[in-house]
Amino acid sequence: MISQLTGNERVLAALTFLILLCVGVTMAAAGRDDLIGTHGWVIAVSAIAGAVALLRAYDAPEPSPARLSEYYDEPSKVGIILTLVWGVIGMLVGVWIAALLAWPELTIDAAWASFGRLRPVHTSGVIFGFGGNALIATSFHVLQRTTRARLPDQFSPWFVLLGYNLFCVLAASGYLMGITQSKEYAEPEWYADIWLVMVWVVYFSIYIRTLLRRKEPHIYVANWYYMAFILVVALLHIINNLAVPISFGHAKSYSLFSGVQDAMTQWWYGHNAVAFFLTAGFLGMMYYYLPKRAGRPIYSYRTSIISFWGITFMYMWAGSHHLHYTALPHWVQSLGMAFSVVLLVPSWASAGNALLTLNGAWHKVRDDAVLRFMMLAAIFYGLATFEGSFMAIRAVNSLSHYTDWTIGHVHAGALGWVAMITYGSLYALTPWLWKRPALYSAKLVEWHFWLALSGTVVYVFAMWNSGVIQGLMWRTYNDSGTLSYSFVDSLVAMHPYYIARAFGGLLFLAGAVIALYNIVMTIRSPVPVASESATDIPLGLQPATPIAQAGE
Amino acid sequence: MFNFHYRLERNAIGFVLAIIVVASIGGFIEIAPLFTIDDTVEKAPDMRVYTPLEIAGRNIYIREGCYACHSQMIRTLRDEVERYGPYSLAVESKYDHPMLWGSKRTGPDLARVGGKYSNDWMTAHLNNPRDVVPESNMPAYRWLLRNQLETGDLGEHLSALRAVGVPYTDDMIANAPKDAVGQANPDTDLATGVIERYGEKTDVSLFDGNQGSVTEMDALVAYLQVLGHLTDAAHTTPQNEVE
């Protein structure tokens, strides 16, 4: 990767590592009595490792100007591998903690190995490690193809990808040591949050600089979603993480807001992390890879417009449905419920648009497991958004909230939608990027497909059952007008479902391992000669024949 | 409308601005008024602040991820009020930076768990829940009894909390480490200082059962025992009809 940097970019990289090293050492010194010191060392060692790699290739010849006539895909390639590896790690931890809920004595007597510290490793590992890397890797690829412009430089994509993964490492290692803000899906402490903001600013700058140099007059739908993902996540992240550290030598900080205001801000963040990280970004993915793989244009351009702005506007009101019947003022709860219900319209418009795009390509869905992954993702997207709107209704929420039903709902979205569209897209993308005729094994994709589907179904059904039973047991009265069940009665009733859930997760994890193996073997397979596509290059350098773009 | 969009999607900067404006409206309308409308948070003149030991315990609660399985928010539902006590008021978490309302009950709600069990039960339960509740699937937190509590930086914790709006006095900040030790060691000079600064109702006890040392168990039990007791507002103000 270093030989691809120009002379100036190598200087920039060296400077970045130097600054990181200084920051790391300062943190290590200022926080020598605190856990932040350990993270200082993590940062310093990362900077040194990067600098050593840089110096070893520093004198390599500069890249030839011919590179400018090709898209810059190296960061996407590394991003794909990182996605698959984080996926396996995050899901493995998920299966493990699922097993701990069924058999709490499985673990060892060490703080880092307890459920409470491992759970955010699972959630951050799959959302940020797996999902975030998938978004970064695919966004760079989609951005270049739909604008027909090369990324603006060679340094900033690496800064974003590697910097983002440093954030993920700080997050996960921090949880194990006990560093957390406790805000769900925003657990990393202040210094990691500041670092993520810097990475994010560069990410946005890559996007906008490429868009401004585009050769296509229109910005394609996929990019609307990727841009909404980048911009709104920045807004949410900054506001929800406002906090005062107790000193610069301590990891601990106290959030600026408290009580009811903090709760509303947190769930405004929490729900829109779902909306703009796990929905908008992956819709961007779907809007490019599904039509490409199906060989069909997007069914309706106008539906795309309505659903995009519907999602962007309405999701931001929906967060308060996480706080029904709480101390949050009633008017905010009602607003949240109303918008959550109406949100079904743009959500189903997107899902329908995706499925109707497959009209004329259903025979491919039957034969091609890669496309089938994407089709299934669209179906689960439709199911999960329907369920979400339903659960946001106050009366339903009174039963479902605080129970495993919520967990089931989240996993219908995360496994059924996010992971399925990601695996489908990565399976499509890998042979294109590495210029291989096909994946190493189509049969393994089939295996993965059925493992993923059965794993998701087992998981979601287990959690629906346990959630509804739990909710009903908590509110059941006996004839004399007192509560029928103690809390622990409801816990005992969950046991079989917790086992089933761990089993469903295990099936899904097996699929993730197969995906990693299949893609690595694809990359390691021999390169066929003369596979260069004459059309997969930036515009201005290619033959004059127009090429149909997805969605145009 | 579609013609307008046809032009908008040819303008990258315009599109970026449109996203920012459209996405900002919902949050602004729902969050900003919570700071300005006075009756969002009830008045509770008797509300006291957390002691340094309770703050340390709260930080352990956060560190161990207790909030992932325990809520601290009793909803306005009849069965919840009967199971856990009066529904939670906004004022009760006024000094909670951040709030720990939670989102999942793998275990029961803890908003009013303070005083419901003895210190001995709490310590035994945290050390190994299955010793006292055989069906429990809660992790055993055995290291809490082994780990000495870090008290040296508690003054800095209190000043940071003051910076975000919790009314700690200079006296409280200056004596924070001593007060943490005092609250876990009754019948010592240090314990008297805790009562002076935080009031008669402050629970000064041998939380983990051992005199002398202050463990992380002391802090966590002290925190759990104060839950629901910072103010009596929920018991004294008439509660609205529950559903």
In a domain, residue A9? The reply is yes
Closest approach of A478 to chain B, Cα-based (Å): 12
- Which strand (E) or helix (H) includes residue A244? strand A243-245
Q: Which tokens hold the place of A434?
A: 């590495």
In a domain, residue A455? The reply is yes
Distance CA A520, CA A406 (A): 35
Do residue A219 and residue B12 have CB atoms under 8 angstroms apart? yes
Residue A382: count of CB within 10 angstroms of its CB: 20
Distance CA A334, CA A393 (A): 9
What pLDDT is recorded for position A252?
A: 97
In a domain, residue A162? The reply is yes
- Which strand (E) or helix (H) includes residue A255? strand A253-255
What's the pLDDT band for A530 if we cut at 50, 70, 90? low
- Beta-carbon-side half-sphere exposure of residue A528 (alpha carbons within 13 Å): 12
Closest approach of B204 to chain A, Cα-based (Å): 25
Whether residue A542 is predicted with pLDDT greater than 80 in this model: the reply is: no
Which of the two residues, A536 and A97, has the higher pLDDT score? A97
Average pLDDT over residues B119-130: 97
Spatial contact of A142 and A210, defined as CB atoms under 8 Å apart = no
Phi, psi dihedral angles at B133 (to 5 degrees): -125, 95
Tell me the residues of chain A between 183 and 222 that have a Cβ less than 8 Å away from chain B: 183-184, 208, 211-212, 214, 217-219
Beta bridge partners of B148: B215
Residue A325 backbone zone (phi > 0: left; psi -120 to 50: alpha; other: beta): left
In a domain, residue A83? The reply is yes
In a domain, residue A529? The reply is no
What pLDDT is recorded for position A544?
A: 46
Do residue A398 and residue B243 have CB atoms under 8 angstroms apart? yes
Q: Residues with Cβ < 8 Å from A222, sequence gap 6 or more?
A: A142, A146, A284, A285, A287, A288, A551
Residue type, A203: Y
Query: Closest partner residue to B142 among A109, A252, A407, by Cβ?
Result: A109
CA A195 to chain centre: 18
Peptide bond into A152 cis (omega under 30): no
Spatial contact of A163 and A201, defined as CB atoms under 8 Å apart = no
Do residue B77 and residue A475 have CB atoms under 8 angstroms apart? yes
Do residue A258 and residue B99 have CB atoms under 8 angstroms apart? yes
Q: What is the mean pLDDT of chain B?
A: 95
Q: Give per-residue pLDDT as tens, B46-67.
A: 999 999 999 999 999 999 999 9
Spatial contact of A256 and A242, defined as CB atoms under 8 Å apart = yes
Distance CA A231, CA A319 (A): 18
Residue B37: count of CB within 10 angstroms of its CB: 11
Residue with tokens 């290619």: A542
Average pLDDT over residues A88-111: 96
Query: Closest partner residue to B30 among A116, A117, A335, by Cβ?
Result: A335
Q: Does A478 touch chain B (CB under 8 A)?
A: no
Same domain, A20 and A38: yes
Same domain, A275 and A391: yes
Residue where a domain terminates, one of A60, A93, A109: A60
Residue where a domain terminates, one of A41, A60, A79: A60
Phi, psi dihedral angles at B215 (to 5 degrees): -100, 170
Average pLDDT over residues A285-313: 96
The two counts, helices (H) then strands (E), for chain A are 20, 2
List CB contacts (< 8 A) between B10 and chain A: 217-219
Handedness of CA B159, B160, B164, B166 (dihedral sign): negative
Average pLDDT over residues A423-427: 98
Same domain, A13 and A141: no
Q: What is the mean pLDDT of chain A?
A: 95
Spatial contact of B106 and B71, defined as CB atoms under 8 Å apart = no
Residue type, B43: K
The CATH number for A263's domain is 1.20.210.10
Q: Indicate the SS3 state at residue B130.
A: helix
Spatial contact of B158 and B172, defined as CB atoms under 8 Å apart = yes
Query: Closest partner residue to A246 among B88, B96, B153, by Cβ?
Result: B153
Q: Does A481 touch chain B (CB under 8 A)?
A: no
What's the pLDDT band for A546 if we cut at 50, 70, 90? very low
CA A185 to chain centre: 11
Residue type, A362: W
What's the pLDDT band for B143 if we cut at 50, 70, 90? very high
What pLDDT is recorded for position A527?
A: 81
- Which strand (E) or helix (H) includes residue A245? strand A243-245
Same domain, A50 and A84: no
Beta bridge partners of A314: none
Spatial contact of A124 and A171, defined as CB atoms under 8 Å apart = yes
Instruction: Give the pairing of strands A243-245 and A253-255.
Output: antiparallel
Average pLDDT over residues B74-96: 96
Q: CA dihedral defined by A51, A57, A58, A60, rounded to 10 degrees?
A: -170
Q: Give per-residue pLDDT as tens, A389-416.
A: 999 999 999 999 999 999 999 999 999 9
Query: Closest partner residue to B22 among A183, A309, A498, by Cβ?
Result: A309
In a domain, residue A457? The reply is yes
Same domain, A156 and A9: no
Q: Indicate the SS3 state at residue A522.
A: helix
Q: Which tokens hold the place of A95?
A: 């299966």
What pLDDT is recorded for position A536?
A: 81
In a domain, residue A103? The reply is yes
Residue B47 backbone zone (phi > 0: left; psi -120 to 50: alpha; other: beta): beta
Average pLDDT over residues A119-137: 98
Distance CA A185, CA A174 (A): 14
Beta bridge partners of A255: A243
Beta bridge partners of A477: A483
Spatial contact of A322 and A271, defined as CB atoms under 8 Å apart = yes
What pLDDT is recorded for position B1?
A: 77
Same domain, A412 and A461: yes
Q: Residues with Cβ < 8 Å from B122, sequence gap 6 or more?
A: B207, B221, B224, B225
In a domain, residue A65? The reply is no
Whether residue A172 is predicted with pLDDT greater than 80 in this model: the reply is: yes
Q: Which residue of A has its CA nearest to B133?
A: A488
Average pLDDT over residues A522-533: 77
Q: Give per-residue pLDDT as tens, B92-118.
A: 999 999 999 999 999 999 999 999 999
Spatial contact of A412 and A462, defined as CB atoms under 8 Å apart = no
Whether residue A113 is predicted with pLDDT greater than 70 in this model: the reply is: yes
Distance CA A358, CA A375 (A): 8
Q: Give per-residue pLDDT as tens, A253-294.
A: 999 999 999 999 999 999 999 899 999 999 999 999 999 999
Count of domains observed in chain A: 2
Average pLDDT over residues A490-510: 98
Same domain, A365 and A464: yes
For A268, A410, B38, the CA distances from B27, given in Å and listed in that order, are 7, 22, 19
List CB contacts (< 8 A) between A401 and chain B: 75, 103
Q: Does B97 touch chain A (CB under 8 A)?
A: yes
Same domain, A48 and A148: no
Spatial contact of A415 and A456, defined as CB atoms under 8 Å apart = yes
Q: Give per-residue pLDDT as tens, A448-477.
A: 999 999 999 999 999 999 999 999 999 999
How many A-B residue pairs are in contact by the CB < 8 A criterion?
262
What pLDDT is recorded for position A548?
A: 47
Q: Indicate the SS3 state at residue A224.
A: helix
Same domain, A14 and A145: no
Residue B87 backbone zone (phi > 0: left; psi -120 to 50: alpha; other: beta): beta
List CB contacts (< 8 A) between A208 and chain B: 12-13, 16
What's the pLDDT band for A550 if we cut at 50, 70, 90? very low
Spatial contact of A231 and A204, defined as CB atoms under 8 Å apart = yes
Whether residue A533 is predicted with pLDDT greater than 80 in this model: the reply is: no
Beta bridge partners of A244: A254
Q: String of b and e for A127-139 (b: at least 16 CB within 10 Å)?
A: bbbbbbbbbbbbb
Closest approach of A488 to chain B, Cα-based (Å): 7
Residue A289: count of CB within 10 angstroms of its CB: 28
Whether residue B45 is predicted with pLDDT greater than 60 in this model: the reply is: yes
The domain containing residue A293 runs over which residues?
70-524
Residue A370: count of CB within 10 angstroms of its CB: 26
Distance CA A286, CA A277 (A): 14
Q: Residues with Cβ < 8 Å from A266, sequence gap 6 or more?
A: A183, A184, A186, A240, B98, B99
List CB contacts (< 8 A) between B23 and chain A: 228, 231-232, 235, 312-313, 316
Same domain, A75 and A52: no
Closest approach of A380 to chain B, Cα-based (Å): 23
Distance CA A286, CA A220 (A): 12
Q: Please state the length of chain B.
A: 243
Same domain, A18 and A85: no
> Of B17, B171, B134, which Cα lies nearest the Cα of A208?
B17
Q: Which tokens hold the place of B192?
A: 């008297």
Q: CA dihedral defined by A449, A453, A459, A461, rounded to 10 degrees?
A: -170
Average pLDDT over residues A77-100: 98
Same domain, A407 and A464: yes
Q: Does B176 touch chain A (CB under 8 A)?
A: no
Phi, psi dihedral angles at A243 (to 5 degrees): -160, 160
Q: What is the pTM of this model?
A: 0.95
Distance CA A400, CA A402 (A): 7
Q: Indicate the SS3 state at residue A265.
A: helix
What pLDDT is recorded for position A541?
A: 56
Distance CA A67, CA A133 (A): 24
